[in-house]
Amino acid sequence: MPSEHAATVAHAMYTLVWFRQNLRIRDNAALCAAVAEGSPIIGIWIEDTETGNLHRTAFYRQSAAELAQVLAGHGIPLYTAASSSELVRLAAGSSVRTVIADASCTFAEKLADNALWHELDKHGIRLTFVNDRSVFDQTDLTPDNGTAHTDFNRYRKAWCDRFSKHPPADSDIFATYRQPFPENLSAPQTAALSDGIFPIRRGGSSAAWKQWQTFLKQADFYDVLKDFPSRKHTSLMSAYLNAGCLSPRLLAREGIGYRLDSWTDNLIRRDFFLQLALQHADDAPSDGNPENTRYLSLWQQGQTGIPIIDASMRCLYKTGGLHPVLRRLCADFLCHTLRVPRHEGEAWFARLLTDFDAAINQGNWRLAASRHTYPDIAAAAHKTDPDGTFVRRHIPELAHLPAAVIHTPWRAAGSIDTHGYPAHPVAGIP
Residues of the binding site: 222, 234-238, 263, 355-357
Considering Cα of 398, then 400, then 406, then 411, what sign does the dihedral take? negative
Return the half-sphere exposure (C-beta side, CA atoms, 13 A cut-off) of residue 152.
13
DSSP 277: G
Backbone angles phi, psi at 416, to 5 degrees: -135, 160
- CA torsion, ordered 359, 362, 365, 369, to nearest 10 deg: -130
Cα distance between residue 359 and residue 284, in whole Å: 15
Q: Are 344 and 296 in contact (CB under 8 A)?
A: yes
Distance of alpha carbon 294 from the chain centroid: 29
Which amino acids are annotated as binding site for FAD, given as ranges? 222, 234-238, 263, 355-357
Distance CA 60, CA 57 (A): 5
**Cα–Cα distances in Å, from 47 out to 20, 55, 115, 182, 191?**
9, 13, 18, 23, 9
Secondary structure (3-state) at 80: strand
Asked whether 322 and 315 are in contact (CB, 8 A), the reply is yes
Give all strands (DSSP E) within 54-200, no chain letters.
Answer: 78-81, 96-102, 126-130
Please report how many Cα atoms fall inside a 13 Å half-sphere around the Cα of residue 85, on the Cβ side. Answer: 0
The dihedrals phi and psi of 191, each to the nearest 5 degrees, come to: -70, 150
Radius of gyration of the chain (CA): 23
Residue 215: which residues within 8 A CB-CB, separation 6 or more? 222, 235, 236, 237
C-alpha dihedral over 89, 187, 58, 293, to 10 degrees? Answer: -10
Strands laid side by side in the 41-46 sheet: 78-81, 41-46, 14-19, 96-102, 126-130
Return the DSSP state at 284: P
